[in-house]
Amino acid sequence: MQGFIINLNKVKEEDLIVTIISQGCLETLYRFYGARHGTINIGFKIDYEIEESTKSTLNRLKDVVHIGYPWINNYKALGLWQEYLSLFHKHLRDAEDIGNFYYDLIDNASKNWANQNPKRIAIESYVKILQHEGRLHIEKICFLCSNKIEKDISLIRAYLPVHKECVYSLSFDAKSLDELLRNYSSIFLDDKEINRLWDILLEGL
């Protein structure tokens, strides 16, 4: 099986509880520490096997092989990737059947992560998540006061639209924002706007 590590918890000594997004499911597995074990971390894509346990409710993670990215030695890109992937754990930890959507989304993002600003990849992917989950709000109605937004548009968590005056925050160009929300493209957003959207994203999926 292949999957992406989205969370690690250290337990006794150097043992780990590892949460992995694979095709169709979210796996939480136990990994015993051993001298022959390679290092694993949040954001890594791995090939692995699952061994059923008769002594625990958690099955065992075994035969782990790290599938590297071409940009793995780009520490800035890796740091952003780990921040992004860690958001999926809190968002999906209570989900039972997640289908292939999240795995495919992350896999596609990993292939393009170093081809442009990684924050743009994450933001465009997040809009796809909002659409997939039925939480994408394109209508220009302020989430806080319920009035129509005529001019400056700001966003809060989950990219919900609000009046700039309601939150005293950076506003976005309406046409550029429409391109993002309707076509999943950040091409017309400048770097300042991208950084603001990234900060909102880090508040949680």
Could you report the per-residue pLDDT of 175-200, keeping only the tens digit for each?
999 999 999 999 999 999 999 999 99
Mean pLDDT of 152-159: 93
Could you report the per-residue pLDDT of 99-154, keeping only the tens digit for each?
999 999 999 999 999 888 999 999 999 999 999 999 999 999 999 999 999 888 99
Task: Tell me, rounded to whole angstroms, the distance of Cα 10 from its chain centroid.
Answer: 22
Domain ranges of the chain: 2-67, 75-201
Does the structure show a pLDDT above 80 at 14? no
Q: Does domain 75-201 have CATH number 1.20.1440.120?
A: yes
CA atoms of 197 and 200, how far apart (whole Å): 5
Q: What is the pLDDT of residue 200?
A: 96
Q: What is the pLDDT of residue 37?
A: 64
Q: What is the pLDDT of residue 31?
A: 85
Confirm if 141 and 161 have CB atoms less than 8 A apart.
yes
Question: Six-digit token pair at 16?
Answer: 């780990």
Compute the mean pLDDT over every residue in the chain, rounded to the nearest whole number.
Answer: 91
CATH for 2-67 is 2.40.50.140
Does the structure show a pLDDT above 70 at 62? yes
Does the structure show a pLDDT above 80 at 51? yes
CA atoms of 146 and 127, how far apart (whole Å): 22
- Helix/strand/coil (H/E/C) assignment for every residue in 37-63: CCCCCCCCEEEEEEECCCCCCCCEEEE
Could you report the per-residue pLDDT of 162-175, keeping only the tens digit for each?
999 999 888 999 89
